[in-house]
Amino acid sequence: MKRSQCKLIKILSFFLIFLFVFSSVFAQTETECEKIVQIAMDCCNEKSLTKILPYLSEDFSVAGHSGNLAETIFKQLVSAVGSIVSYHKKESRLEADKLILEYSIEYSQVGKKDSVFIFNKDNLLIGAELMKIRVKTLSPEERTIEYNKANLISVPIILAGNIPLVEVFLNGENRLFLLDSGASFSILNSKYVEGLDKSKKKLGSLQDVSGNASISNMDVVTVKELEFAGSKIKNQKTVILDMSHLEETLETDGIYGLIGYDMLKEYDFFLDYSKKTLALINPEHIDDFIKNNKLKTNSKLSCKMIGHIPMIEVLIGNKAYQMGIDTGAETNLIDSSYFNDLEYLLQNKQKDVLGGAAGIKKEIYTGELKKLIVGKNVYKNLRTSFSDISHLRKRPESYDGLLGYPFLSSQPVLISYKRGEVILFK
């Protein structure tokens, strides 16, 4: 055999071996990714993202959006499309370093849709399209708030359960709103927005491009006038959301919306549950406020803003935890992954079973945390719940839980977004 023929045979043999190995690797990768698609379908059946979260890449996107918004959209999708009736895989293909799996899936709520799942080389989801949707969003540039320039604004609060309510002037009438610093922006309760045809269920910020299926109870509308503590929104776009479930939980009708971080961020805000008072203070006049109100500082802590959530360090047992502060949290909350570590510090434990709309039951634990240390402050027997917030903890900078009413109601608290500071008073 000629040397050139031998060389050609070697090249062909190498090429065939390469193709065999590549095909085997590709087949193995495709099999693993198909399993993840099955997990995504389970999420639709259970109306929960919990199972799929470990398989989402850092750059996961939905409908052109990434980050927290992508997860929010995906959560709304799996909650709204319904359970899986039937499905079959239509196609799999490689594009660059991405594996794309296309399925035809029939959902119980929105019917048969073409669904696409895109994976990176690590078999993590970088994109998911359960159905073609368009997403209404509200960017900060689309809304201007006229902030009250007064150095001190006092606002009375009332409590619905463990959630503070404040009075808001909305389109010529005084209405009650939730005070929820954990919400990035203020919203209206769609239940009380006039002119919406609720029978057609078109309150959808996520809508099938065909217009046939609304899959969320959110929307963006224009509000004529909204005034809170002298700060005003006039003829601006505002998100609306069906808050009926909150009214039922709090056993309070007439909650017209919530006031979020966007209406608070220009101020230091002081909250004293014992006096049912909220004060919004010009950050340059905080020393005068403390002096005039004869407040005595017990602990002063630095806080780091994670998005719109101020985060501080606390000590539980012998370990430090990063906790966000949220006026909209009825109880203190810690991620369920820490339950086994902290169970010995809990007393009066209870196991609650929450039932979802799909009949899926979820167990959560609550109890009284024997001891929590924040700065110089020592708290005993604070009611605390353990729930899955792994979607918040995936990123490098995240918090381990939230401090809500049990913590905030224990003393007067001042939060300064501008200075990155939290002060706990005696």
> Are both 170 and 214 inside the same structural domain?
yes
> Are both 339 and 311 inside the same structural domain?
yes
> Are both 215 and 312 inside the same structural domain?
no
> Average per-residue pLDDT in the chain?
83
> Are both 42 and 8 inside the same structural domain?
yes
Q: Kindly state whether residue 97 falls inside one of the protein's structural domains.
A: yes
Choose the final residue of a domain: 90, 105, 131. 131
- Residue 84: is its pLDDT beyond 60? yes
| Inter-residue contact 334 to 393 (CB < 8 Å) | no
Q: Kindly state whether residue 286 falls inside one of the protein's structural domains.
A: no
Q: Kindly state whether residue 284 falls inside one of the protein's structural domains.
A: no
**Percent of the chain predicted with pLDDT > 90:** 51
* Beta strands 401-403; 319-325: pairing state: parallel
Residue 166's CATH number = 2.40.70
**Residue of 326, 325, 296 whose CA lies nearest to 313:** 325
Q: Give me the pLDDT at residue 410, please.
A: 97
DSSP code for 72? H
Question: How confident is the model over 150-172, as pLDDT tens digits?
Answer: 999 999 999 998 999 999 999 99
| Inter-residue contact 153 to 221 (CB < 8 Å) | no
pLDDT level of residue 135 (50, 70, 90 thresholds): low
Q: Kindly state whether residue 112 falls inside one of the protein's structural domains.
A: yes
User: 311-314 long-range contacts, Cβ below 8 Å, gap at least 24?
Assistant: 311/399, 312/374, 312/403, 312/422, 314/372, 314/373, 314/374, 314/403
Q: Give me the pLDDT at residue 191, please.
A: 86
Q: Give me the pLDDT at residue 6, please.
A: 57
Question: How confident is the model over 90-112, as pLDDT tens digits?
Answer: 999 998 889 999 999 999 888 89
Q: Kindly state whether residue 208 falls inside one of the protein's structural domains.
A: yes
Most confident of 127-136, 150-159, 217-226: 150-159
Q: Give me the pLDDT at residue 4, please.
A: 56
> Are both 250 and 304 inside the same structural domain?
no
> Are both 353 and 391 inside the same structural domain?
yes
Q: Please name the residue that has the structure tokens 């918040």.
A: 392
pLDDT level of residue 28 (50, 70, 90 thresholds): low
Question: What whole-number distance in Å separates Cα of residue 219 and Cα of residue 226?
Answer: 17
- Residue 145: is its pLDDT beyond 50? yes
> Are both 248 and 148 inside the same structural domain?
yes
Choose the final residue of a domain: 112, 131, 150. 131
> Are both 123 and 216 inside the same structural domain?
no
Question: What whole-number distance in Å separates Cα of residue 219 and Cα of residue 207?
Answer: 10
Q: Please name the residue that has the structure tokens 């002096």.
A: 291
- Residue 404: is its pLDDT beyond 70? yes
> Are both 301 and 357 inside the same structural domain?
yes
Question: What whole-number distance in Å separates Cα of residue 398 and Cα of residue 392?
Answer: 6
Residue 26's CATH number = 3.10.450.50
Q: What domain count does the chain have?
A: 3
Q: Kindly state whether residue 281 falls inside one of the protein's structural domains.
A: no
Choose the final residue of a domain: 108, 131, 154. 131
Distances (CA, A) of 171 to 175, 188, 192, 194, 214: 10, 12, 12, 11, 28
Q: Which of 14-23, 228-237, 316-325 has the lowest mean pLDDT?
A: 14-23
3-class DSSP string for 293-319:
CCCCEEEEEECEEECCEEEEEEEECCE
pLDDT level of residue 41 (50, 70, 90 thresholds): very high
Residue 361's CATH number = 2.40.70.10
- Residue 310: is its pLDDT beyond 60? yes
Question: What whole-number distance in Å separates Cα of residue 187 and Cα of residue 184?
Answer: 10
> Are both 221 and 160 inside the same structural domain?
yes
- Residue 281: is its pLDDT beyond 90? yes
Q: Give me the pLDDT at residue 138, please.
A: 62
Q: Give me the pLDDT at residue 194, please.
A: 72
Question: How confident is the model over 200-216, as pLDDT tens digits?
Answer: 433 344 444 333 333 44
Residue 399, classed as helix, strand or coil, is: coil
Question: How confident is the model over 368-399, as pLDDT tens digits?
Answer: 999 999 999 999 999 999 987 766 665 567 88
Q: Which of 61-65, 131-135, 211-215, 240-244 has the lowest mean pLDDT?
A: 211-215
Q: Kindly state whether residue 287 falls inside one of the protein's structural domains.
A: no
> Are both 201 and 117 inside the same structural domain?
no
- Residue 403: is its pLDDT beyond 90? yes
> Are both 9 and 124 inside the same structural domain?
yes
For residue 195, the enclosing domain spans 140-263
Q: Give me the pLDDT at residue 209, please.
A: 39
Q: Kindly state whether residue 47 falls inside one of the protein's structural domains.
A: yes
